[in-house]
Amino acid sequence: MTALVLVHGGGFDGRCWDPLMPHLDHPAIAVDLPGRGGRPAPLDEVTFAACAEAIAEDIDRAGFDQVVLVVHSLGGCSVAPTLALLGDRVRHIVFVAATVPADGHSTQDEWSSELAQSIDEDRRRGGPTMAEDRVRARFGNDMNEDQLAWCMARLVPEAEPLINERVDLAPLQAPVPRTWVLTTLDAILGPEMQRRFIDHVGGDCQVVELEAGHMCMITQPEALAAILNGVAGG
């Protein structure tokens, strides 16, 4: 049976997938990328290559031979180096509101001036994580108060070098099936930006629209699980 490997985005660790897990029909693991959760590392030294190694390490530890790689948000930048490590053990890639800069570019290169200014204000404010008003605006536009509180309690500091690291998308030339879950209510990676990232992914990428905000694994776990179960069972 093909297993699901869930890779979180920026500002979170593997716990962000907890609401989704009970709805999955296949074996699944949620990876903690370096410097987050149960994988301590200096945040200022984290690279996408290190993220890929962490993903491969967890897959090997779980004993999975074939996997569906599910990546959310900034986790999308770790896909190419993970493919380079795992090859055809990755049977399908699911990009969930993911960030995939153009080849040779960084995530920051893709930001709008408005988003760049907002994140720069976060940095000047200081503190290890985002303020609640920023979380509500970027991630919580479709959350109820309980979901927002749950989300706030699981924020973690981000590895900022990843924002400026340039991606090498050459491994995505491999003929691996790919699906994009496009979150139509997304307040931080709007549909137009996601469609640009879909072009960067290349290949015959199937697009599935989900009426949800950025953290759809929290607000729409059953709907997202149905998509993932369909991919893993296909």
Q: Tell me the per-residue pLDDT of 80-120, one tens digit each, with 9 for 90 and over.
A: 999 999 999 999 999 999 999 999 999 999 877 677 666 66
Residue 72: domain span: 3-233
Q: What is the pLDDT of residues 26-47, one digit of tens each?
A: 999 999 999 999 999 999 999 9
Coil, helix or strand for 96?
strand
* Domains held by the chain: number: 1
Q: What is the pTM of this model?
A: 0.94
Residue 124 pLDDT: 61
Mean pLDDT across the chain = 93
**pLDDT at position 179:** 98
Q: Tokens 């973690």 map to which residue?
A: 156
Task: Kindly report, residue by residue over 169-225, the tens digit of the pLDDT.
Answer: 999 999 999 999 999 999 999 999 999 999 999 989 999 999 999 999 999 999 999
Using CA atoms, how far apart are residues 25 and 151, in angstroms rounded to an integer? 24
Of 27, 1, 6, residue with least CA distance to 18:
6
Nearest to 160 by CA among 53, 55, 36: 36
CATH number at residue 196: 3.40.50.1820
pLDDT at 127 over 70: no
